[in-house]
Amino acid sequence: MSKRLKELHDEITERLRGVVESPRREAELLLIAYLEKDQLYFITHQDDLIDDNDPRLLEWIVKRSANVPLEYLTNCVSFYSREFYIDEGALIPRPETEHLIDEVLRRVSIDEEIRIVEVGVGSGIISIMLALHLPKARFIAVDISPRALAVARRNIETFGLSDRIELREGDLLSSIDEKIDFLVSNPPYIAHDAQLESNLSFEPQNALFGGEIGDEIIQRLLDEVYARQISLFACEMGFDQKPKVQEYLKNFALQSLDFYTDYASFDRGFVLKALHE
């Protein structure tokens, strides 16, 4: 059976009503991705006949109606104007993480031969974007999840960066003996009992939850910065975690501590320049 695109759009919109925030827009995005076309095509081909029995389309509609994120259906996510592979093994990159990358780039010059370590590489977006901007930097990117590392590996290979981004499996910095010039992380930072939107249940839970309070991993990373004499540390955090970070850092000597905000003007992270004896 075939249906006109506009009828299919109406039908999918109804299936998504009450599940997602903007059902009409989400139905449009699903169809655009399915057809592998753009929005202009979608608008100008409303009377085209589409096979609405295609198993792939039916599967996408069923899964999207259960609130599975579209990115996990298309295996594609856009971040910092680039396309990355994604699957359920890794967190879907969020636009606010672009700020973390910008904060690092602001502090490293293009010809610096430094070693940057990323903790919690996930899909690889942070190390990859930094490597594209910093051609002389070398990276070690760690994750505790083998599934996340598989996603990162695939993206690193696609961008031709396997010779500059080394992946390691491990808990925080446990797999690293080398000197670290700049530590970067978007760690899990949500409290275990936080009430979250249902679509987040499809993402790896160890990518989201940072402990009972939420900032436990951030504190462990701060301890590592001082134990290993790391000069610079850039870290994403929850919008309400600034006072806790400030409080925790009262125990440590600082050259500077700059907090930054995200697109919605929420506190979203910090860059710390440590003072070591």
CB of 58 to ligand SAM, least distance (A): 30
- 3 touches 52 (CB < 8 A): yes
Among 30, 77, 148, 274, binds ligand SAM (CB under 6 A): 148
- Our finding on whether 120 is near ligand SAM (CB under 6 A) is yes
Residue 57 touching ligand SAM (CB under 6 A): no
Q: Which of 27, 57, 126, 134 binds ligand SAM (CB under 6 A)?
A: 126
144 contacts ligand SAM (rule: CB under 6 A): yes
- Whichever of 33 and 144 has its CB closer to ligand SAM, that residue is 144
Q: How far is CA 127 from the centre of its chain?
A: 11
Parallel, antiparallel or unpaired: strands 267-274 and 232-236: antiparallel
Asked if residue 218 binds ligand SAM (CB under 6 A), the reply is: no
In the complex with ligand SAM, the residue whose CB is nearer, 23 or 93, is 93
State the minimum distance, in angstroms, from the CB of residue 30 to ligand SAM.
Answer: 23
Among the listed ranges 14-22, 155-163, 204-212, 260-268, the one in contact with ligand SAM (CB under 6 A) is: 204-212
Taking CB under 6 A as the criterion, the residue among 70, 91, 129, 237 binding ligand SAM is 91
Stretch that binds ligand SAM, among 58-66, 108-116, 136-144, 254-262 (CB under 6 A): 136-144
CB-facing half-sphere around the CA of 193: CA atoms within 13 A: 2
Q: Is residue 123 close enough to count as binding ligand SAM by CB under 6 A? A: yes
Distance CA 54, CA 3 (A): 12
CB of 133 to ligand SAM, least distance (A): 16
* Helix, coil or strand: residue 191: strand
Cα–Cα distance, 211 to 216 (Å, whole number): 6
Which sign, positive or negative, has the C-alpha torsion 119, 106, 155, 77?
positive
CA-based nearest residue to 193, from 207, 213, 219 = 213
Alpha helices in 83-137 (DSSP H): 97-105, 125-133
Is residue 225 close enough to count as binding ligand SAM by CB under 6 A?
A: no
User: Rounded to an integer, what distance in angstroms lies between the CA atom of residue 220 and that of residue 127?
Assistant: 21
Q: Nearer Cβ to ligand SAM, position 207 or 230? A: 207
How long is the chain? 277
Q: How far apart are CA 234 and CA 149, in angstroms?
A: 21
Residues that bind ligand SAM (CB under 6 A): 90-91, 93, 97, 119-123, 125-126, 142-145, 148, 171-172, 186-188, 204, 206-207
